[in-house]
Amino acid sequence: MPTLHTLLSNIALLLWTASALAQPAPASTSTDANCSTEIVTLRTADGARLQGVLFRAAQRKGAALFLVHGYAGDFYESYFPKLAEAAARAGYDTLALNMRDHDAGPKKSSFTDNRTDIAAGTAYLHELGHKRVVLLGQSMGTNRVLYYQAASGDPDVAATILVSGPGDLFEWNVWQFGKEKAQATVDEALNLQRAGREEELMLVDLGPLGKTLYSARYLLSVRGPDRLSNPYLNVAKVKNPILIVQGGADKLIAPDVGKRLLAVAGPAAAFATIEGAGHGFENYESSLSEKILGWLSTVAP
């Protein structure tokens, strides 16, 4: 019998597809002659169950696009449906997949677990016959895809797209609250870890994102002194072409993040700003899709 979570995810996908295509759709349906969609459920190497959606191209290219959401996001968030449809029409099979810590609610896993999640998605795309994968991270998803590549050295990633990256997450908290308050939260988590209570939940203030619950383990994995989530360190290890995109009206991230990433990325990196766009590119989805697909046509044709 389907679980409540499965039913809710399926309902969400139906609403999402209807929003994107202006008509309701079942779990697997042809949208037109150039694109079809289907729900997918994957198991990671450590047993986590992840749901997502695949947009299939009728005349597909060799590379596939893999969309990775940000903090408290999911596979049907913000511009993902319109970008996925546009990419499939252009010939790119496109997978949008939930990470294990998707949506709102307490965060208990480690940031590094997302490497296993992304590995499951890339393996699935390889099973479909794609030799190359393009990784796109949205917001904190930029940190996820950069860490995946830095840790795995996956040679089959053809290109990387970083959209609305927040930069280093400890630095983001310093930017929001000042260094003293940001460090105090880390110190609280360190104290819990030393006491053997790293799974204990802490109430964490995320400023414009509200308050939420993190385990000490999760918080230290994204903000702690030994964190592996720092994108400025990880991006320097990525050898494939990189596109960095920011919205000109994005108030959720420091305005210099994109240029800082560009400064430490390799020579094949490019930077683009879409003026007027906010963090999730609402009302600017078409401009974002055009920018991304235009760039992809040159690096992963």
Say whether both 175 and 261 belong to one domain.
no
Say whether both 101 and 247 belong to one domain.
yes
Q: Is the pLDDT of residue 28 over 70?
A: no
Say whether both 51 and 199 belong to one domain.
no
* Cβ atoms < 10 Å from Cβ of 188: 14
Q: How high is the pLDDT of residue 31?
A: 52
Say whether both 48 and 126 belong to one domain.
yes
Say whether both 55 and 174 belong to one domain.
no
Residue-wise pLDDT tens digits, 89-116? 999 999 999 999 999 999 999 999 999 9
Mark which of 181, 204, 228 sits at the end of a domain: 228
Say whether both 90 and 102 belong to one domain.
yes
Q: What is the dihedral of CA 149, 50, 171, 80, to 10 degrees?
A: 90
Q: Is the pLDDT of residue 244 over 60?
A: yes
Q: Is the pLDDT of residue 150 over 70?
A: yes
Identify the CATH number of the domain in which residue 127 sits: 3.40.50.1820
Residue-wise pLDDT tens digits, 157-175? 999 999 999 999 999 999 9
For residue 60, name the pLDDT band (cuts at 50, 70, 90): very high
Q: Is the pLDDT of residue 17 over 90?
A: no
If one counts the domains in the chain, the total is: 2
Q: Is the pLDDT of residue 62 over 70?
A: yes
For residue 188, name the pLDDT band (cuts at 50, 70, 90): very high
Say whether both 133 and 253 belong to one domain.
yes
Mean pLDDT, residues 116-125 taken together:
98
Q: Is the pLDDT of residue 2 over 70?
A: no
Mean pLDDT, residues 205-211 taken together:
96
% of residues, the chain, pLDDT over 70: 89
| pTM score | 0.90
Q: How high is the pLDDT of residue 177?
A: 97
Q: How high is the pLDDT of residue 33?
A: 79
Mark which of 228, 246, 278 sits at the end of a domain: 228
Say whether both 33 and 116 belong to one domain.
yes
**What is the domain extent for residue 96?**
4-168+230-299
Say whether both 223 and 87 belong to one domain.
no
Say whether both 240 and 102 belong to one domain.
yes
Say whether both 209 and 256 belong to one domain.
no
Say whether both 150 and 113 belong to one domain.
yes
Mark which of 228, 253, 277 sits at the end of a domain: 228
